[in-house]
């Protein structure tokens, strides 16, 4: 695939991925882009096809998966979700670094493709801190919070497998985590910026 190397960002809910991402997008406007995922679920009010998701039928999605058009896909709550090769290429074609915010299952799927991204895992400082962050959001039932924590513990363990990630960033101090993230991506950021200037 031509264009800047994509970035696979993974990490449990509450580790601070979204916060780090928002800051990266703000500080480096026009350098990063998101691939638009495909899903078989129905659009929620206000969601736009092609912007929030590519909304497709199960048959269309299955045909694409069978045809090798997807770099990763998974099923959540009975609906299929996935990232297509052309969604990533569309971002690269604009000379942007494509960010893929992906779960552990997706990371393992991408390892089997020729995508060659930079793999980064964001970890919380500890499980108790993660639990507190999730509780403070007040968006989870006790049962759903426990499920998220179990999934997080399992993801953190898997992410330590040698060679799975290029970089593991522990988000203990936001400033430190952010500067580490910038450092890991600096080479790609510089390449994109200098090609936009020329």
Contacts of 170 (CB under 8 A, 6+ apart): 123, 124, 125, 177
pLDDT recorded at residue 134: 85
137 labelled catalytic: yes
The rounded distance, in Å, linking the Cα atoms of 55 and 119 is 27
44 labelled catalytic: yes
Token code pair at residue 11: 């990490």
Bridge-based pairing state of the strands 79-84 and 70-76: antiparallel
pLDDT recorded at residue 182: 97
Q: Domain map of the chain by residue range?
A: 7-197
Encode 127-151 in three state secondary structure: HHHHHHHHHHHCCCCHHHHHHHHHH
pLDDT recorded at residue 166: 96
Encode the chain in three state secondary structure: CCCCCCEEEECCCCCCHHHHHHHHHHHCCCCEEECCCEECCCCCCCCCECCCEEECCHHHHHHHHHCCCEEEEEEECCEEEEEEHHHHHHHHHCCCEEEEECCHHHHHHHHCCCCCCEEEEEECCCHHHHHHHHHHHCCCCHHHHHHHHHHHHHHHHHHCCCCCCCEEEECCCHHHHHHHHHHHHHHHHHHHHHHHHC
- Per-residue pLDDT reduced to its tens digit, 88-122: 999 999 999 999 988 888 898 899 888 899 999 99
Token code pair at residue 90: 């569309």
pLDDT recorded at residue 2: 66
pLDDT recorded at residue 31: 96
Q: What's the CATH architecture for 7-197?
A: 3-Layer(aba) Sandwich (3.40)
58 labelled catalytic: no
Query: In the chain, which stretches have pLDDT less than 70?
Result: 1-2
pLDDT recorded at residue 83: 94
Catalytic residue among 5, 23, 41, 148: 148
Catalytic residue among 58, 63, 135, 137: 137
Catalytic residue among 44, 58, 63, 133: 44
């Amino acid at each position: 695939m031509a264009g800047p190397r994509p970035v696979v960002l993974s990490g449990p809910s509450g580790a601070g991925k979204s916060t780090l991402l928002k800051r990266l997008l703000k500080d480096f406007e026009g350098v990063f882009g998101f691939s638009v995922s495909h899903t078989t679920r129905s659009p929620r009010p206000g969601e736009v096809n092609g912007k929030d998701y590519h909304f497709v039928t199960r048959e269309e999605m299955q045909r694409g998966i069978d045809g090798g058009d997807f770099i990763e896909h998974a099923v959540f709550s009975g609906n299929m979700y996935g990232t297509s090769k052309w969604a990533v290429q569309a971002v690269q074609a604009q000379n942007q670094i494509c960010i893929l915010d992906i779960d552990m299952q997706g990371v393992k799927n991408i390892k089997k493709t020729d995508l060659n991204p930079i793999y980064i895992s964001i970890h919380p400082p500890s499980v108790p801190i993660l639990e507190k962050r999730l509780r403070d959001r007040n968006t989870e039932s006790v049962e759903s919070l426990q499920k998220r924590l179990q999934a997080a513990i399992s993801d953190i363990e898997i992410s330590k497998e040698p060679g799975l990630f290029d970089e593991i960033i522990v988000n203990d101090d936001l400033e430190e985590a952010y500067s580490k993230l910038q450092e890991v991506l600096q080479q790609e950021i510089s390449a994109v910026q200098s090609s936009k200037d020329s």
